[in-house]
A and B are shown apart, each in its own frame.
Chain A
Amino acid sequence: AQTVTQSQPEMSVQEAETVTLSCTYDTSENNYYLFWYKQPPSRQMILVIRQEAYKQQNATENRFSVNFQKAAKSFSLKISDSQLGDTAMYFCAFMNYGQNFVFGPGTRLSVLP
């Protein structure tokens, strides 16, 4: 079974600074997708970024980018120019073909003014 680990339960960063959230996963599959979801205090799940395992190029969405290391099974999220609105719980998620998501335990990020 796939597992997803997020080793940082909580992190904080100053506004406008850069922060990196870590995620590792375990799978024997070769083709899969990885996602980062953001959950603000409203508790809605919002997609931040996704990565297809067969693509070597790291995904980027505006201030959000990932460092995908397939061999190391690592999928970290970098947030540049952090904003107060980035304060949220961040979940890393793994999806195999035709399967449901497996979520990590989450990292609570606080952006400080």
Chain B
Amino acid sequence: EPEVTQTPSHQVTQMGQEVILRCVPISNHLYFYWYRQILGQKVEFLVSFYNNEISEKSEIFDDQFSVERPDGSNFTLKIRSTKLEDSAMYFCASRRGGGRNFGDTQYFGPGTRLTVL
């Protein structure tokens, strides 16, 4: 069964450094998402991406964040200058979408644990 993959599984970085989190969505999916989950808290929406552009973003997704689909398979989240409070689990998700299937399921990747020191 196809699945969303994410790399790396764990990233440790120093405050102020740039990090890129990578995701490979399911191949025939059209909608892509990034969520984050600070330890012990709920999952929060960051950004959605469709047709090579951001379709929606939350207040969390400020100028330090950017997303890109550099090729036909990868979907990346970049944090330009990491802060301590960026430490969290970051989940990528994708859904097929299209037509009446607006509610079809988002499939989540296993997550990348980001630790900012």
Contacts and interface: CB of A to CB of B under 8 A. Distances in A.
Nearest to B39: A43
Nearest to A45: B108
A67 B41 CA distance: 25
B75 interface: no
A45 B102 contact: no
Interface class of chain A by DSSP: strand
Contact of A97 (B55, B103, B105): B103
Given A42-B110, A43-B89, A104 B42 contact: yes
Interface class of chain B by DSSP: strand
A100 B103 contact: no
A44 B42 contact: no
Interface residues of A, number: 24
Interface residues of B, number: 24
Nearest to B33: A100
Contacts of A99: 56
A25 interface: no
A103 B103 contact: no
Interface in B44-84: 44-45, 48, 55-56, 58
The 8 closest A-B pairs by CB, nearest first: A33-B103, A45-B108, A100-B45, A103-B43, A105-B42, A97-B102, A44-B110, A103-B42
